[in-house]
Chains A and B, each alone.
Chain A
Amino acid sequence: MIEPDSHRFDTRALHAGQRPDPVTGSRAVPIHQTTSFVFDSVDHASGLFNLEISGHLYSRISNPTVAVLEERIASLEGGVGGVCTSSGQAAFHLALATILGAGDHVVASRNIYGGSHNMLNLTMPRFGITTTFVDPRDPQAFAEAIRPETRLVFAETLGNPGIEVLDIAAVADVAHGAGLPLAVDSTFATPYLIRPIEHGADIVIHSVTKFLGGHGVAIGGIVVDGGRFDWAADGKFPTLSEPYDGYHGITFTEEFGPAALSMRARAEGLRDFGGCMSPANAFYLLQGVETLPVRMARHVENTLRVIDMLDGHDAVSWISHPAHPSHPDHDLAKRLYPKGAGAILSFGVHGGRDAGRKFIEAVDLASHLANVGDAKTLVIHPGSTTHQQMSAEDLAAAGIGEELVRLSVGLEDPDDICDDLSRALRASQR
């Protein structure tokens, strides 16, 4: 059987969305450091403002450097398009604000990034949008939480903090059965490890800040539009299927079909909320995306080495990563993540909060900070930092034991990472 004519993944990581600049011959993506773009004529200007024609007019709405990153990640995910934002949080907000309105309801995994949990649990209710949180390992729980006013199902492909592996197809079936889209945050996985749209997800959100950017130098986010969901099927999504006064009565599904969500997110969401990505950040993040395949392969390889070392260490009480046989999703991860289930893991240090603190004080190579997905190995002990005010009971309820250490495995020589961790583990027991 013949194959579709397209470049393969690793090639697209380097090339998708860009051709050498025809005017200057510039091979690298130029940084279009400009706020605005000149119009050819009054007609051209009015056509752009009225969505009659497409093109760049003002960098809050679109910018050529940012557009390369958008098209590149959309291509890697197999989507129809993407809208980049100033941060991963802004991407999540943009997706919510484009689809939902007051009175709408979300069913979300309860094991998600704390910032996303705050947004759904504390902030969105002020705007009339409420959320029911469910166990991501139980597709039936999503089904049972769906109400007549539910408009979105949301989960992380690899969850927080336990690296819960989402059975994307099973949860997509639940969502689609109820006429709802499934949005996933795939930050921990990146399209190198899984392409959720191929498994049935409709929207993919990334904190590009993390592994996609890969070097810890710039904050950014993206909403990737899968383009498969029928927003017009039953009138549940009026922002997309009803006339919008903001552009003289345009109906996004009618004019743009599979691109309806991305077009509305840009034309309304970036226009009104303004959470755009800067061209300079897009450039930094593009440098990371170019090497995503080689970096992620090494991140995963190093992670397996670290798991091996921790497994044999006396000071370690447990390890949570899908590659470890003790992980509840070990088999599911083998099926969905043949290249590995990411480079973030947590483990328990014997001796609880105190030992956790000593461990963190003793690491030397690993950086103690609140981020993941850097080229460098990062480590944090929530019990003594981000979650220090919480009691042992509250921590346990959040799935974060006092003894939990979270690790984002970097690209250093794996022997050096293991030496550092194992020395710090010994120190934690003194």
Chain B
Amino acid sequence: MKFQVDDLTVNAATGAVSIERDEVADAPLVVLLHGAGMDRTVWSQQTRWLAHHDTRALAVDLPGHGGSEGPAITSIGELAAWTARLAEALGGPVHLVGHSMGAFIALEAAAATPDRIASVVLMGVGAAMPVHPDLQTAADADDPLAAALMAGWMHGPDQRFGLNPTPGMSMTGTSRAVIEACPPGVLGPDLAACAAYGGAVDAATVLTCPVTIILGTLDRMTPRKAAQPLLDAMPSATIVELPDSGHAPMMEEPGAVRRVLGDHLGRLAA
């Protein structure tokens, strides 16, 4: 679907069902936020499932990504403020599901605008997200090497072998193609925004909404131990560790992530 935030068009996948159907009028609004240089389609194993399981799900394209109008927003703080305005445009508090850069955005939005954010689910996240200098250089130059480097690192080492839960598809090939499709001049600033964000632990300390964190044991971009300061700052968060996932559990263990999302929303409804 397309809608407006700040007079700019935002595109979101809604699992091919309208979020405006009467029967879901009171269902939770779930907004899925992608990571640096990616788009809504990273959630293809969750969006349509959520949409058919009593939620109003929107996997959005961040400004300047996928089908959303630019310019891209270049700091986590401003992206979080944009997310709050997005929640307002949708007419209600939203549950945020964030991956990597999207997890930082969710964390910051929940801390800064608690009235707009009902809960957060984070994955592929650490207290900080340092970016390899060669990756930053390639991304700044819009060199396709950046997509290849990210596609290689963002999945667990077993994805060098493959065996994608989606029959016939190459996970690293798909991730690379998503990042390659990122408009020029967007990936570099995205990565720089991740590297520059130093507010994760502070945000985690002040936020009050329910939090679930999914940790991939094989995550090489935000290694398991890099998440510890975040976990320490949120003693009441629900922590789920997925042993076969790297940095992108929504692709690597899509079924487990669906279950965690269902459990998270179920706990809140109870």
**Chain B min CB distance to A91 (Å):** 13
Cβ–Cβ contact A257 & B145, under 8 A: no
Residues of B within 8 A of A63 (CB): 167
Q: A80-B174, A255-B41 are in contact. Are A249 and B16 (CB under 8 A)?
A: yes
Q: A1-B134, A257-B178 are in contact. Are A51 and B48 (CB under 8 A)?
A: yes
Residues of A within 8 A of B174 (CB): 80-81, 227, 258-259
**Chain B min CB distance to A299 (Å):** 26
- Contacting A62 at CB < 8 Å: which of B67, B132, B162, B167? B167
Binary B-proximity of A190-221 (CB < 8 A = 1, otherwise 0) = 00000000000000000000000000000000
Cβ–Cβ contact A266 & B48, under 8 A: no
Residues of A within 8 A of B255 (CB): 53
Q: A18-B161, A67-B168, A80-B169 are in contact. Are A5 and B152 (CB under 8 A)?
A: yes
Which A-chain residue is minimally distant from B43 (CB atoms)? A255
One of A68-76, A361-369, A371-379 contacting the partner: A68-76
Residues of A within 8 A of B77 (CB): none
Give the docked Cα–Cα distance between A243 and B149 (Å): 34
A79 CB–B CB distance under 8 Å: yes
**Chain A min CB distance to B60 (Å):** 12
Q: A18-B162, A258-B181 are in contact. Are A67 and B149 (CB under 8 A)?
A: no
A78 CB–B CB distance under 8 Å: yes
Cβ–Cβ contact A67 & B167, under 8 A: yes
Q: A251-B16, A254-B13, A262-B169 are in contact. Are A17 and B162 (CB under 8 A)?
A: yes
B172 CB–A CB distance under 8 Å: yes
Give the docked Cα–Cα distance between A7 and B67 (Å): 33
B47 CB–A CB distance under 8 Å: yes
A273 CB–B CB distance under 8 Å: no
B17 CB–A CB distance under 8 Å: yes
Q: Which of A34-55 contact B (CB under 8 A)?
A: 46-47, 50-55
Cβ–Cβ contact B163 & A19, under 8 A: yes
Binary A-proximity of B48-82 (CB < 8 A = 1, otherwise 0) = 11011000000000000011000000000000000
Of listed B17, B66, B174, B258, residue having the most chain A CB within 10 A: B174
Give the number of chain A interface residues (Cβ < 8 Å): 57
B114 CB–A CB distance under 8 Å: no
Give the docked Cα–Cα distance between A137 and B15 (Å): 45
Cβ–Cβ contact A81 & B13, under 8 A: no
Cβ–Cβ contact A47 & B177, under 8 A: no
Q: A2-B134, A17-B162 are in contact. Are A54 and B145 (CB under 8 A)?
A: no
Give the number of chain B interface residues (Cβ < 8 Å): 49
B153 CB–A CB distance under 8 Å: yes
B165 CB–A CB distance under 8 Å: yes
Give the docked Cα–Cα distance between A247 and B211 (Å): 34
Cβ–Cβ contact B13 & A255, under 8 A: yes
- Contacting A53 at CB < 8 Å: which of B40, B45, B163? B45
Residues of A within 8 A of B160 (CB): 5-7, 15
Give the docked Cα–Cα distance between A24 and B105 (Å): 43
Cβ–Cβ contact B145 & A81, under 8 A: no
Give the docked Cα–Cα distance between A249 and B13 (Å): 12
- Contacting A227 at CB < 8 Å: which of B51, B177, B258? B177
- Contacting A247 at CB < 8 Å: which of B16, B151, B163, B180? B16
B170 CB–A CB distance under 8 Å: yes
**Chain A min CB distance to B183 (Å):** 11
Give the docked Cα–Cα distance between A62 and B132 (Å): 38
A83 CB–B CB distance under 8 Å: yes
Q: A70-B168, A74-B170 are in contact. Are A228 and B49 (CB under 8 A)?
A: no
Give the docked Cα–Cα distance between A302 and B13 (Å): 53
Which A-chain residue is minimally distant from B49 (CB atoms)? A52
**Chain A min CB distance to B233 (Å):** 31
Give the docked Cα–Cα distance between A1 and B149 (Å): 11
A56 CB–B CB distance under 8 Å: yes
Cβ–Cβ contact B16 & A243, under 8 A: yes
- Contacting B49 at CB < 8 Å: which of A17, A47, A247? A47
Residues of B within 8 A of A259 (CB): 41, 44, 166, 169, 174
Cβ–Cβ contact B162 & A16, under 8 A: yes
B238 CB–A CB distance under 8 Å: no
Residues of B within 8 A of A52 (CB): 15, 48-49, 51-52
Give the docked Cα–Cα distance between A247 and B52 (Å): 13
Residues of A within 8 A of B152 (CB): 4-6
Q: Give B contacts to A, CB under 8 Å.
A: 13, 15-17, 39-41, 44-45, 47-49, 51-52, 66-67, 132, 134-135, 138, 145, 148-149, 151-153, 157-158, 160-170, 172-174, 177-178, 180-181, 254-255, 258
User: Could you give 24 example pairs across A and B, Cβ below 8 Å?
Assistant: A1-B138, A2-B135, A5-B153, A17-B162, A50-B52, A53-B255, A54-B45, A54-B165, A55-B165, A56-B167, A67-B168, A70-B168, A75-B162, A79-B170, A79-B173, A81-B170, A84-B168, A228-B181, A243-B16, A255-B47, A256-B41, A257-B40, A258-B178, A262-B168
Shortest 9 CB-CB contacts between residues of A and residues of B: A257-B41, A5-B152, A70-B168, A227-B177, A62-B167, A81-B169, A258-B177, A4-B148, A54-B166
Q: Give A contacts to B, CB under 8 Å.
A: 1-2, 4-7, 15-19, 46-47, 50-56, 62-64, 66-68, 70-72, 74-75, 78-84, 226-228, 230, 232, 243, 247-251, 254-259, 262, 266
- List 5 other contacts, CB 8 Å, given A6-B148, A259-B41: A5-B153, A16-B161, A17-B161, A17-B170, A266-B167
